[in-house]
A and B are shown apart, each in its own frame.
Chain A
Amino acid sequence: AQSVTQPDIHITVSEGASLELRCNYSYGATPYLFWYVQSPGQGLQLLLKYFSGDTLVQGIKGFEAEFKRSQSSFNLRKPSVHWSDAAEYFCAVGPSGGYNKLIFGAGTRLAVHP
């Protein structure tokens, strides 16, 4: 079955520290992979996506993610976290069920200490 696992429910980092959020997926073919961010009380904003080509993907707000097929992972990274990065982050994989549907992970809530 197709699934997405985000092993860390909560992560706390200090401002300026580096960040890595983990995402593992189970998928029968070459997936499309996404990271979305949700600020409190807001909708989801696309950070970055991978669907072909270079396995290191650059996104908005200084984020990047690396697709590792051998590890079924798509981890999100940022070299230096800002207080405004505090939010919930969702990894997603698709398409699912033969069409443009995404399966989302449960999310990782990031807190940033000053």
Chain B
Amino acid sequence: NAGVTQTPKFQVLKTGQSMTLQCAQDMNHNSMYWYRQDPGMGLRLIYYSASEGTTDKGEVPNGYNVSRLNKREFSLRLESAAPSQTSVYFCASSDSRASSGNTIYFGEGSWLTVV
């Protein structure tokens, strides 16, 4: 029972490098999300995709781009990494039906360090 799978789990980047975080879910969920987690700040939404073919900005979208490749996959790209993007990134998904109660299911996280 995979749930939400994200790769890579750990990555070190140099300032200015680019990379893509991959995410896939096998729960047939319509909605997918990318959050970042920083100490003392909880989780903050970077981008989300309400359904296949749509994406929207969250609280902290600057410096990131996303692609909803299909219903299963939602990738997060850092075009030119900055030290301020050092964080733990979580991909998540949810069933968009009201009966689901907005429950969001998370991946195990990707630890990104930008030096």
Contact of B96 among A45, A100, A106 (CB under 8 A): A100
Total A-B pairs, Cβ < 8 A: 59
Interface size class of B (residues with CB under 8 A): 20 to 34
Excluding A34-B102, A43-B109, A101-B45, 14 further A-B contacts by CB distance (< 8 Å) are A32-B101, A34-B104, A43-B106, A46-B105, A51-B101, A100-B48, A100-B50, A100-B94, A100-B96, A100-B104, A101-B33, A104-B35, A104-B42, A107-B42
CB-based nearest B residue for A102: B104
A100 near B31 with CB under 8 A, answer yes
Is B106's CB under 8 angstroms from A102's CB?
Answer: no
Contacts of B58 in A (CB 8 A): 101
Which residues of chain A from 85 to 101 have a CB within 8 Å of any chain B CB? 90, 94-95, 99-101
Considering residues B90, B102, B103, B106, which has the most beta carbons from chain A within 10 angstroms of its beta carbon? B102
**Which residues does A use to contact B, with CB under 8 Å?**
4, 9, 32, 34, 36, 41-46, 49, 51, 90, 94-95, 99-102, 104-107
5 contacting pairs across A/B (C-beta < 8 A) = A44-B106, A49-B103, A51-B102, A100-B104, A106-B41
Contact yes or no, A9 B42, CB < 8 A: no
Measured between C-beta atoms, what is the minimum distance from A4 to chain B in Å? 8
Q: Check: B108 CB closer than 8 A to any chain A CB.
A: yes
Question: In chain A, what residue has the closest Cβ to B3?
Answer: A43
Given contacts A100-B94, A100-B96, A106-B41, contact A46 B103 (CB under 8 A): yes
B101 in contact with A49 (CB, 8 Å)? yes
Q: Nearest Cβ in chain B — how far from A21, in angstroms?
A: 14
B60 at the interface (CB under 8 A from A): no
Q: What chain A residues lie within 8 Å of B96 (beta carbons)?
A: 100
